[in-house]
Chain A
Amino acid sequence: MKKKIIPLLSFILILTLLIPTTLTKAQRLNYSDIGKHWARGEILEVSALGYMEGSGGKFYPNRHLTYGELLTVAIRALGLEGQAQVLEPTNHLRGVYQLAYDIGLIEGDMEQLRPNPSAKVTREEAANILGRALGEVPPLGHEIREAKKFKDYNRIAQHRLPYVELVLQKGYMKGRNATTLDPKGYITRAEFAKILSNANDDLIHHRGISKKTGQVSNLELGNMTIYNTDGTSNIIGYEGENLFPVQKDKKIYPSTEIKHLDFISYYIDSAGRCLYAEVNTQKDTIIEGTIREIDLENREIVVWDFNDKLHKFKLDPYINMDQLYFEQEVALTLKGDLVTKITTFDYIDPERDGYIIPGTRFRVGTVLFVNNDEIEIVSKAGREKFQIDPMYTTIYKRGQRLELFQVKEGDRVLLSFDDIYSPQVSEIKVEDEEKHIAGVMKGKIQLVDERNKEVLISEPERLYQGRWLPSNKSSERIKLGTGSIYEGGRKISLKDLNKRMGEEAYIAYENSYGNTSISKMLLKSGSAMEHKDKIQDIDYGLGRLVVDTNSFNLHEGTIVIKNNRLVDPLNLDLNQNVYLVSDLRSGIRGASLISIEDTGIIDDRIDGTRLLVYKGKIEDISDYRLTIGRFNYRMDKQVLTSSGFKSNRESEEFTLTLDTLIYDSQLEQLIPTKAFLDSRYIDLTDIKDRNLRNRIERGYYKNKPAYIIVKETAYGKEVLALNLIPQDLNRYNQTLTLDHSTLGEIGEVNIDQKTLSLTKVRNYNNLTNRWDYSQDQTLSLDKAVILVNDKPLTLEELYKLRKGSQAYIVKHNDSSIDIPYIILIEN
């Protein structure tokens, strides 16, 4: 801004005494003659900071500056006024002069106080003395650039030029206009105030004053807290004796005028007292654009706004610059050049909204129900239902993929999802058998160890095949693990058992990692009764079921076991074969232990498939197809049902694949599927040579009786295995009742002898239509076809069988010897 100076008659002002800061300052600063002066902001600033002062309530802004004033200001700015006073206690001005000579601000006659204190000061002299006061090495020779920009550069006295250049380079002083410096013109007080204000930041350290900028966060008890842009904070007093002048909109107010959340620049002395503050009253401006440069060291960023302009900003330490990146869209809220807020717009396309790392959303629980579309689990959070889709959901266990039907009720599963909203499960991970129920135990509570979470059970008896067999140990240590303890329908803690010493309990236990631990424990209450029958009626709502025409109460604590897994009473169903132990108390029978005996191997499966076992005669073999018809002329083709073989009319055609296992139990050898299929081209009756015909007959399969195992899916029936049986079985009668089914668990497998021991044996009684417990037995596998999880297993692969797998066996009684022909295994 260019301003014309009107020279005024100068008043000689004898500066005598310095009034120390504060207290009266705010009042003193209310000059009456600067009302609309162009430099009133600067005048207030330099006055408040004690560089300059007026007299009699006036500042005389347009009066020319005198030498006396200039030197006094310079000495004050250097914080040396005290020293000056010590030098000349009586004559202040003399002291100032003395000091100014000493530190080389001026040259002249000290005794005469020359230059004359009341002499007017030229612009170049003001710059010279200010420059010297800065105490910096001035630019010389070719370093002088700024001054040469002015036409009247030659008028600057040579000995002053370096310091004039310094002041110009620092930007404290400007020319009258772009081309004129006017070095010999006189300088007014207002102009000098402006220059001082510009130089202020370089001068304040001399007096132990520091300048800070920040936001007022709260005002309490006469103190205000300010968070500075440099990351520090200050607490300053602003009331009473700490009152300081505040400039707001170029007017002076007492410091009580400062409001919460104001942005202020303020000066504090070494004692932490505030001398003066300016309220940043600039309106919030917002600059939007993208980040072009990030300078982490100086905490600066360059923003390219949408009007194609570049802006550089300094960021205060509260802004985490790690979060900024090149080309980031930002909106900066500014007060002047102070960034008060930075908003980043991090664009994520809406398509990825709610994306999670696959698997980070998961649920752990126990399977309550599962079918082709849904899985319902019980977890700590209660029952939850999710969708499954055979095309989308993958199921695995021990790193191997499973078919859906291999997921059983009571399995512990981990479901994971790909999306936060999706009800569809992407993966089901099934826990392996470490947590399966190894058995049921009954015994008396002898001791409770809460530290190790163990219970000592005396007189332990294990349930085996409907009987309680005493253990060979007199007492058994059993861990609580993740199991729970019930008394009736109420869950109790291990601690509560301390008051149940000597009482009997049923314990479903698991052998996880070599430890026997409780899955579920129920205290016995009342006299025991046992039943073994089908469930005739069940009411889940009332918690009642009828077995063997007796009604029983179900409760939370009822131990229900199915497929070696602890399941929910809701998994009980009509017509299931169960073994039930109940306690009779006060005339009420409470179900304590229910073991569901069906394996479900040949039942309908949850995924809509099932295994079918037929017995019939091969009627025709065609291109990867096989027709099965009547077993003999008096008997239809037979199909295995839950109550033995039943008549199944009509011939039926099945798909055959190269994976179908074809076994000739008479020859005890595998037949390559190709050879089997190719045999259809031969017509035995065409072979006239008897010897040749006899030889071929062994490899001729039409009209031979066989057991076939078929997997039925929605897309048809596929033969998994076929077991050719000898013709001599082909009696016209009885043959039906000679087939019977056996259930059991695989014990030891003898690979060399090709035998298998079966434990927990149950035979289907065709007369009573019940499963009867039976002795452990050893099966000779020579004539059997084995399917494990729907996959044929040859005798050479016997080692792959896992102990404890469930087996369904179809045996044929031939001359009082049971021959197992079909073994279906699930594990």
Chain B
Amino acid sequence: MKNKIASLTLILTLLLALALPSLAVEIPGYEGGINNENNYKEVIFITGEPIELEGTLDIKISEKNRKGVQTKTYTYKYDLHNVKLGATLRRNITLSETFETNGNQTTSQKTLDKYSETFRINGKTYQVQTDDYQWNQGQVLHQTGLLEYYAGDWSARKTYKVGNRRAPTEEVTVQTIGNLVGYDSPWSATQTQTLHYIIEFENKLEENDSWEGTATVEASYNKTKDYNYIENIPNQISFHGGFMLTEKHENVLKYSYNLPRLQGSGRNIGQDSMTIDTNPIITRLNIPALRDVRGLEAEKDILLIASMDGFSLTATNLGPHTAVSRGDFARALANTMDIKLPEEETTTTRTRRSRRNKEEETPLRYIDVPKSHRNYPYIEGVSNRGIMIGVGKGRFEPDRELTKAEATTILIRLLGFQNLAPIGNYSTGFADDSSIPAWAKDHVYIAKELNIIPRDEYFYPNKPITKEETATLLVNFINYLQKQLKYDYRENILN
């Protein structure tokens, strides 16, 4: 009995550790295809020509926890066709993945349980059974303050057989070298897979009838959350306009091949690409009541942050030129970056109550942030993720001004890029480099490199950051997540 409880708590902690950024790409299929809500596409090369197939894909994912080992089982069912060529493909796959968590890293291993594939074209049938397919994949995931980065590699060998399975007349062997890399963040998520295929065809009846080819398939899955300001056309309405969030998948497939020309000499070299988008999902945001920000350069930025409840929704005055407090910054961050807040205590059931009592016994994380503090849940939320860690010795100083150096440090910590900064002594290039606190230097350097902070002559690290500047900084950061990061994970790999 005790054992069970122990494993249960372990599961709970595991689940907690895995409950992560809200935006994550949904990967269609087990490798190299793209889809939207109702259509799936991929390319196969086994006949010696690139054949684009489309159709439907059913995905089932189940999760299990046994003795603290988390496993996921994926079942894919493909039903694809190419009308023009009269080709059909049916494929059923079962994969299982086991996870191992170590601090902020999770490694996982995927293996193939069951596989069957039947491809029909021109009266010819290519078949693959589980025994003829060796496939495995390893992945590592790294969690930073806000983002998750992951990379994986796989290798596989698949043998298609034509004719009798035991004594096939023709065989196509496809060797796969694959890798993937991606990230999940609250404003965008991208995964890019690169698959290299080495294809060898052999006719068992005729010795000279054989060919070799190579193909590369790159698939990129992107999910981006974007915002738009929508103005109302009537002038006589209680609100002039508001923000809308759209969330959308954009899947890109690019392939290039070097295949034989089945009739004639030379090779068949080429490349192509395609995109499938999903229909955007729309959310309207609340309309903030702010008035004293009108006419400011950063008005739209401030309104956007306020729409997401980063600043008060109901206040009419923000004081855009006054400094932002550390607690308020935590709130703005938590609400714009979808940071999970600690659960509100409820007293519905007895177990809940007992848990609550336990919680009350645990000391406060920060002695200067009582539960009654207006920013308590946000401060807890950002502290849980290690984004803001207090000023040391159990203090958070929630009602102190936030300096520019602190704000910059927090944003880079969200990204987890501080480790990319140079080692040893170096200069960030700002004229006031010497006044940047030691703990902020790496972060300031990286923020400057990534254009999150402007490349001005001076940085003024110890100057408090105003609410207007906070809004601009956060919107810049959102744009960074939406565009630059996506570029690095997609265009930089595909092109």
Contacts and interface: CB of A to CB of B under 8 A. Distances in A.
A361 B494 contact: no
Interface residues of B, number: 49
Contact of B367 (A233, A364, A414): A233
B422 A420 contact: yes
A515 interface: yes
Contacts of A799: 261, 266-269
A514 interface: yes
7 contacts: A355-B424, A412-B495, A420-B422, A434-B254, A451-B246, A452-B280, A800-B269
Given A217-B395, A356-B423, A450-B230, 5 more contacts: A225-B367, A233-B394, A353-B426, A431-B491, A434-B254
Contacts of B393: 215, 217, 227, 233, 318
A798 interface: yes
A297 interface: no
A354 B228 contact: no
Contact of A352 (B228, B230, B267, B424): B424
Nearest to A231: B394
Given A355-B424, A414-B492, A451-B246, A381 B367 contact: no
A596 to B, nearest CB: 23
A350 interface: yes
Interface stretch (B142-150, B270-278, B333-341, B407-415): B270-278
Interface in B448-490: 449, 451, 455, 483-484, 487
Interface residues of A, number: 49
A381 B451 contact: yes
A354 B424 contact: yes
Contacts of B267: 799-800
A232 interface: yes
A360 B228 CA distance: 32
A386 B226 CA distance: 34
Interface string B243-287: 010101000111000000100111111001111010010100000
A452 to B, nearest CB: 6
Contacts, number: 106
Nearest to B282: A451
Given A434-B494, A751-B264, A799-B269, A318 B280 contact: no
B7 to A, nearest CB: 26
B239 interface: no
Interface string A504-531: 0000000011110000000000000000
B269 A515 contact: no
Interface string B417-431: 000111111100000
Closest 10 CB pairs of A and B: A353-B424, A514-B274, A354-B426, A431-B495, A799-B266, A348-B424, A513-B275, A513-B273, A227-B393, A513-B252
A482 B224 CA distance: 14
A634 interface: no
Interface string A228-247: 00001101000000000000
Contact of A354 (B252, B266, B422, B483): B422
A391 interface: no
B422 A514 contact: no
Contact of A751 (B261, B274, B282, B445): B261
Given A364-B487, A513-B252, A752-B264, A452 B277 contact: yes
Contacts of B254: 434, 513
Contact of B363 (A232, A380, A482, A512): A232
B420 A434 contact: no
A8 interface: no
Contacts of A352: 423-424
Interface string B153-174: 0000000000000000000000
Given A233-B394, A357-B420, A420 B277 contact: no
Nearest to A379: B451
Contacts of B234: none
B405 to A, nearest CB: 19
Contacts of A798: 266
B392 interface: yes
Nearest to B479: A380
Contacts of A311: none
B315 to A, nearest CB: 27
B273 A355 contact: no
A356 B425 contact: no
Nearest to B277: A452
B229 interface: yes
Given A450-B228, A515-B275, A356 B420 contact: yes
A798 B264 CA distance: 13
A491 interface: no
A752 B262 CA distance: 12
A435 B495 contact: yes
Interface in A581-626: none
A360 B421 CA distance: 8
B232 to A, nearest CB: 12
A111 interface: no
B75 to A, nearest CB: 29
A731 interface: no
A380 B272 CA distance: 30
A46 B441 CA distance: 50
A202 B64 CA distance: 50
Contacts of B268: 799
Nearest to B275: A513
A318 B389 CA distance: 13
Interface string A407-430: 000001010000011000000010
Interface string A799-813: 110000000000000
B425 A354 contact: yes
B347 to A, nearest CB: 27
Given A233-B393, A381-B451, A451-B282, A514 B273 contact: yes
Nearest to A749: B266
Nearest to B231: A495
Nearest to A430: B495
Interface string A332-364: 000000000000000011101111110011001
Interface in B356-408: 363, 367, 392-395
A391 to B, nearest CB: 25
Contacts of B445: 420
A229 to B, nearest CB: 11
Given A513-B275, A796-B266, A799-B268, A432 B495 contact: yes
A698 to B, nearest CB: 26
Interface string A317-338: 0100000000000000000000
Contacts of A355: 422-424
Interface string B181-214: 0000000000000000000000000000000000
B367 A235 contact: yes
A799 B363 CA distance: 73
Given A227-B394, A451-B280, A514 B425 contact: no
A780 to B, nearest CB: 17
Contact of B425 (A353, A380, A431): A353
Interface in A197-227: 215, 217, 225, 227
A349 B425 CA distance: 10
B473 to A, nearest CB: 15
A61 to B, nearest CB: 39
B147 to A, nearest CB: 16
B425 A360 contact: no
A233 B395 CA distance: 10
A364 B450 CA distance: 10
Contacts of B484: 364
Contacts of A432: 495
Interface string A430-455: 01101100000000000000111100
A360 B424 contact: no
Contacts of B492: 414, 429
A282 to B, nearest CB: 21
Contacts of B423: 348, 352-356
A322 to B, nearest CB: 11
Nearest to A225: B367
A357 B419 CA distance: 10
